[in-house]
Amino acid sequence: MGQERRLTASPEYLDPTLSPERRTQLLLAQMTLDEQIGQMCQYVGEPSTTPAGNIDELTNYKLALADKAELIRSGLVGSFLKVPGAREASYLQELALSSRLKIPLLIATDAIHGHGMDVAAATIFPSPIGMASSFDPALLERVAACTALELRATGFHWAFSPNLDVVRDPRWGRTGETFGEDPYLVGALGASMVRGYQGTDWSTSSVLACGKHLVAGGAPENGLNGAPAELSERTLHEFFLPPFARAVEAQLATLMPAHNEVNGVPCHADERLLNDLLRERWGFTGFVVSDWNDVERLYSVHRVAESPKHAALRAVCAGVDMHMHGGGFFEHVKALVEEGALPRARIEQAVGRILLAKFRLGLFEQRSSDPLQIERTVLHPDHRSLALEVSRRSLVLLKNEGATLPLSKQARIMVTGPNAADQSVLGDWCRLQPPANVVSILEGIRKHSGATANVTYVPCGSIAEISDQAIRDASDAAQRADLVIAVLGENSIRENPARTSGENLDRASLDLPGRQLELAQALVATGKPLVVVLVNGAPICSTWLVEHAAAILEAWEPGMQGGSAVGEVLFGDQNPSGKLPLTFPRSVGHLKSYYNHKPSAYHRGRFHASASTALFPFGHGLNYTTFEYRAVRCQARLRRGEALKVDVELANSGARAGEEVVLLYLQDLCASLTRPVKELKAFRRVFLEPGVAKTLRFELPPEALAFLDRDLTPTLESGEFRLIAGNDAASCTFWLE
């Protein structure tokens, strides 16, 4: 059916002077049914497993992908992911260029915090949870733009980022690749990354962004990746959907449904989610790509399809435009069209969206990588500098008892801990990098200590290998030092067989894994001050550590320059300024814990032998100076439809220059439905010299005061509201008429 179409002598769709829309129409008219369905198919470009010997690696790759080569030459593939490098990506494009219609491939990768999955060396930024601690959308836009440059230089065109999941259970192993628990913050940072990846006007330096995972992947049962999410419609629309809506407003190009089901409906088969809400209400015009094997899971796991073929029908009818990954999908879709179960028009709709993206990116004119451009772009000094800047702003000082930090550069320091001298700073979604490209925490401490002879390192093995002897050795060395730095936490590096967190590795506990707490207890028993540096992608919640460590620095997974940033902060060359983008509960038993809870959450119930307050609240983060919130001011009465103008007077009352992240919350004091105790509505970073005061002006649009009524329709109600700056540092009230 439809195989009779033939290419004209001089195809107009190859004319770059025509609009992308017109070129898409012209190309669609030339395509057979097979070629159209082929554009909906994404395959994996796995590295060759053939022993190299004296054979060139690219030759091995060609041998490994021999079965897919003919599919590409026949025009039956639209995209690849997991391609192991620039040369391999160029080879795939050469195959596509030999096809009848010469349609380029979209080469995709999980560039979550840099291009670290599929190239040998690239700029690796902090994990997203660390970037979120900067509360700096403009900074994240620069990160995404930098990553886009490195992707395009190496022949990649599509980043499976940003992750727009709102975290409600930090046991979830993917917490580190999110922006935390607040929908306003997640939306603001996610939209900035969309703009950074795609640019204001797509070009050959842009890549497609992919918002994922729609929806509620961050609230799975028991914190297990892909587990069901049972949530009210109100909770979905108030907390989990807003970041996706904001990304769509930023012209998001592609979107990925979630692994999980929500209220009994798998997201990959939810036409109300992918069509009615996403396209009809929000106006999304891009294309939807499935997540890994999730079309097939409609049959094999969720059991809402009677066969893999039926699963393909349900997914495509629900709104999935491209299938990730593997065979079978093509055959199922073709049979469904030929049987009349799936309209040809739906196929052309999906393919038109995919082709339009390829034309807008300029792939027909520039599809392959340029070795000279790779050399000029990847790991450029400006990119390394940006990685350091982001790392500095991602660090959160959780505790600093008695001004333990910053450290004296004359102090004798003993360093230990499983994360001190390895590449755990890189985090998940990143391969191990060349050692010269990564600054470990130990290297950063030695670099900034002023006298490296004063720094002694005592290895203790990996998280899974800390022995009695290692604990004794560290304790003995601590006796000869003035203080101890223990670099503890998690390890989510994919190439580490003993990794403790990351995708598909969720946590049953929020404590330090392995025997790390025993190591810390032995070090404290020496009587020497203990400074803890945490390297982790999700909260480590240890009340013992908080009570006994002299200082705790949350480094998250700070990226390739993370060690330098940590060294600078520990010795006072930089002033920490990050704030927590999610709540640290006291234990697993305190879940679920988040700042924007309802008023009745803690009004009567108490935990036996434990406080109900957070170990560290959302927005917490100390500084080496002190900031004073002197006043919050706004008009006393506000008319409907008016923007609310708010002034926050802030002063640096300490002795050092520093940056403060000013958080502005709203509290609805009385409403027809229960409202959260407070909601983040604006934030801004400000730098102040000692003794300097500044008044910051915020302007909240009218919709910032609205909430969803019983019918889930945005509404404004008259009444009294409270504005809160900082974590209850200063406030004022106003009346909405």
Dist. CA 330–CA 323, nearest whole Å: 9
- What residues does each domain of the chain span? 24-375, 392-575, 627-736
The structure tokens 């082929």 sit at 38
- Asked whether 337 and 308 are in contact (CB, 8 A), the reply is no
Q: Can you give the pLDDT at residue 52?
A: 45
Helices 86-97 and 66-73, packing angle to 10 deg: 40
Dist. CA 284–CA 587, nearest whole Å: 40
The structure tokens 């919350």 sit at 665
Amino acid found at 197: Y
Dist. CA 373–CA 376, nearest whole Å: 5
Correct CATH for 24-375 of 3.30.460.80, 3.20.20.300, 3.40.190.10, 3.40.50.620: 3.20.20.300
Dist. CA 159–CA 198, nearest whole Å: 10
Find the length of the chain. 737
Q: Which of 540, 531, 533 is nearest to 566 (CA)?
A: 533
Q: Assess whether 291 carries a catalytic annotation.
A: yes
Amino acid found at 351: V
**CA geometry: angle at 177 spanning 291 and 440, to 5°?**
130
SS3 of residue 192 by DSSP: helix
Dist. CA 207–CA 199, nearest whole Å: 8
Amino acid found at 388: L
Dist. CA 146–CA 164, nearest whole Å: 20
Look up residue 711 and give its two tokens: 């019918």
Q: Which of 440, 413, 386 is nearest to 140 (CA)?
A: 386
- End-to-end C-alpha distance for the chain, whole angstroms: 64
- Asked whether 108 and 156 are in contact (CB, 8 A), the reply is yes
CATH of segment(s) 392-575: 3.40.50.1700
Q: Can you give the pLDDT at residue 54?
A: 53
pLDDT along the chain (737 residues), means of 10: 49 94 97 98 75 65 87 96 91 95 96 93 97 98 97 96 97 97 98 96 91 95 93 96 98 97 97 97 98 96 97 98 93 98 98 98 89 91 98 98 94 97 95 96 95 89 96 97 97 91 93 97 98 97 97 98 98 97 94 93 83 94 97 96 96 97 98 97 98 98 96 96 92 96
Q: Which of 110, 291, 506, 668 is catalytic?
A: 291
Strands 693-700 and 644-652: antiparallel
Dist. CA 732–CA 666, nearest whole Å: 10
Dist. CA 115–CA 671, nearest whole Å: 47
Q: Give the CATH fold of the 627-736 domain.
A: Immunoglobulin-like (2.60.40)
Distant-in-sequence, close-in-space partners of 367: CB < 8 Å, separation ≥ 6: 93, 96, 97, 104, 105, 155
- Which whole-number Å values give the CA distances from 461 to 202, 332, 501, 556, 610, in the listed order? 47, 51, 18, 20, 33
Amino acid found at 380: H
Instruction: Determine if residue 603 is left, alpha or beta; phi over 0 gives left, psi from -120 to 50 gives alpha, anything else beta.
Output: alpha
